[in-house]
């Protein structure tokens, strides 16, 4: 099937602010000259302002829907309301769009089997290896899509096998797109204050930055302790993101100098990324989704030429370490972390150059263009 995509409706069940991959896609599709409409459950005011400034071809339809609780009834009510509002809109707009871009597997499942009658691209962001029923339900959605899009090579091959696809899904990395438009002076005052406070607290020290979910499952204790051990050498441990189980206090117990910055809406969090000296990327071994990870972080760090210290899993070894943009070590061993910091510091110019070269491999806009001119469906 050949389709010349000029008008695309992007649908995302959730707060689009919490999905940098969708923000990146919107900007690149906008730059390719495509008329875009985004239907999302919610969006932060700052993110909306950013999108309106960077995507002149984009119209945002914010349904302003939130789950009222975490119980099953509240979630079902949320799903039902989102589904109804989306289909009502699409019915009114019938014939005015060329295709749909489904921004997540949950979005596809929420829209139901009726979606399979549409022309659509399916963007699957997670592997779902621990959710066999979820994975089974997604099979027909994937097989009926114009193209399946995933963020990582191993996941693409696994999905092709699981779902019996004729083609390997497209690989669109979770890389930032056009983030140079985010400047400190363009940020809301409250973010400027966060940056100014960090500049004052760091006092020129080299920031070892972890950004993401701050949870005991990420095992940051040893990293915090290692940076604390090197505090006399002008290093500072900074964690950016939402915390769970009061984990920041545990980190401060092993390294009192640890600085916590709560979550900043995308893409403004990238200002903090630019201030880092070395980035930290860690995942645990609880599932294949983690082992074959596809983190935004490796692309965000590498975009601003920041070397990385990662734990040793395939998703990081054959990306970051293979391209010499950082090192993969046992991050649960303090001595290994200390050694990694000193190693990168001693060859910092080489590592920053390699990080920048690694980012160039993302080919983000070219890949989006290739996807949107795809000539075949996943299964015929």
Confidence of residue 179 (pLDDT cuts 50, 70, 90): low
- pLDDT over 80 (residue 190): no
pLDDT of residue 3: 59
Identify the sign of the CA torsion 129, 131, 133, 139. negative
**Position 2 pLDDT exceeds 60:** no
The b-or-e profile of 332-343 (16+ CB within 10 A means b, else e) is eebebbbebbeb
Q: What is the pLDDT of residue 351?
A: 99
- List, for residues 102-155, the tens digit of each pLDDT value: 999 999 999 999 999 999 999 999 999 999 999 999 999 999 999 999 999 999
Provide the pairing of β-strand 278-281 with 259-261: unpaired
* Residue the block writes with tokens 């290093």: 235
Q: For residue 11, name the pLDDT band (cuts at 50, 70, 90).
A: very high
C-alpha span between 234 and 242 (Å, rounded): 26
Identify the pLDDT of residue 1.
41
Highest-confidence segment of 153-157, 180-184, 262-266, 375-379: 153-157
Instruction: Decide whether 7-175+363-372 matches 181-360 in CATH topology.
Output: yes
Domain ranges in the chain?
7-175+363-372, 181-360
pLDDT value at 181 more than 50: no
Token output for 134: 């979820």
More confident residue, 367 or 2: 367
CATH superfamily to which 7-175+363-372 belongs: Glycogen Phosphorylase B; (3.40.50.2000)
**Cα–Cα distance measured from residue 216 to residue 257, given in angstroms and rounded to the nearest whole number:** 18
CB 20 within 8 A of CB 296: yes
State which CATH number among 3.40.50.10190, 1.10.540.10, 3.40.50.1220, 3.40.50.2000 fits the domain covering 181-360: 3.40.50.2000
**What's the pLDDT tens digit per position in 279-309?**
999 999 999 999 999 999 999 999 999 999 9
Percent of the chain with pLDDT strictly greater than 90? 83
User: If DSSP states are collapsed to H, E and C, what string results for the chain?
Assistant: CCCCCCEEEEEEEEEHHHCHHHHHHHHHHHHCCCEEEEEEEECCHHHHHHHHHHCCCEEEEECCCCCCCCCHHHHHHHHHHHHHHHHHHHHHCCCCCCEEEECCHHHHHHHCHHHHHCCEEEECCCCCCCCHHHHHHHHHHHHCCCEEEECCHHHHHHHHHHHCCCCCCEECCCCCCCHHHCCHHHCCHHHHHHHHHHHHHHCCCEEEEEECCECHHHCCHHHHHHHHHCHHHCEEEEEECCECCCHHHHHHHHCCCCEEECCCCCCCCHHHHHCCCEEEECCCCCCHHHHCCCCHHHHHHHHCCCCEEEECCHHHHHHHHCCCCEEEECCCCHHHHHHHHHHHHHCHHHHHHHHHHHHHCCCHHHHHHHHHCCCCCCCC
Q: What is the mean pLDDT of the chain?
A: 93
């Amino acid at each position: 099937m050949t389709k010349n995509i000029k008008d695309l409706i992007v649908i995302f069940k959730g707060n689009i602010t919490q999905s940098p991959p969708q923000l990146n896609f919107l900007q690149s599709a906008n730059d390719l000259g495509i008329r875009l409409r985004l239907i999302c459950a919610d969006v932060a005011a700052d993110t909306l302002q950013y999108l309106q400034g960077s995507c002149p071809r984009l119209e945002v339809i914010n349904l302003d829907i939130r789950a009222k609780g975490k119980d099953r009834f509240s979630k079902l009510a949320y799903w039902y309301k989102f589904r109804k509002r989306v289909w009502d809109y699409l019915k009114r707009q019938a014939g005015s769009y060329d295709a749909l871009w489904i921004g997540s597997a949950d979005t596809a499942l929420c829209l139901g089997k009726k979606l399979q009658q549409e022309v659509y691209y399916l963007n699957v962001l997670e592997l779902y290896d621990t959710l066999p029923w979820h994975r089974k339900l997604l099979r027909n959605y994937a097989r009926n899509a114009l193209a399946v899009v995933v963020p990582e090579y191993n996941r693409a091959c696994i999905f092709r096998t699981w779902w019996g696809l004729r083609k390997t899904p497209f690989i669109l990395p979770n890389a930032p797109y056009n983030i140079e438009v985010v400047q400190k002076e363009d940020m809301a005052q409250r973010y400027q204050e966060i940056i100014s406070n960090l500049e004052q607290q760091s006092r020129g020290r080299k920031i070892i930055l972890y950004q993401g979910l701050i949870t005991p499952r990420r095992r940051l204790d040893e990293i915090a302790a290692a940076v604390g051990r090197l505090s006399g050498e002008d290093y500072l441990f900074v964690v950016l993101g939402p915390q769970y189980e009061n984990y920041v206090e545990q980190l401060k117990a092993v390294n009192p100098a640890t600085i916590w910055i709560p979550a900043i809406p995308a893409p403004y969090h990238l200002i903090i990324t630019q201030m880092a000296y070395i980035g930290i990327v860690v995942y645990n071994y609880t599932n294949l989704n983690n082992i074959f990870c596809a983190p935004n972080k490796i692309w965000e760090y590498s975009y601003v030429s920041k070397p990385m210290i990662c734990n040793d899993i395939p998703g990081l070894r054959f990306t970051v370490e293979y391209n010499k943009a950082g090192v993969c070590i046992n991050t649960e061993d303090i001595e290994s972390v200390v050694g990694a910091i000193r190693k990168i510091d001693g060859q910092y110019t080489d590592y920053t150059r390699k990080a920048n070269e690694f980012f160039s491999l993302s080919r983000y806009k070219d890949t989006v263009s290739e996807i949107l001119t795809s000539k075949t469906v996943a299964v015929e």
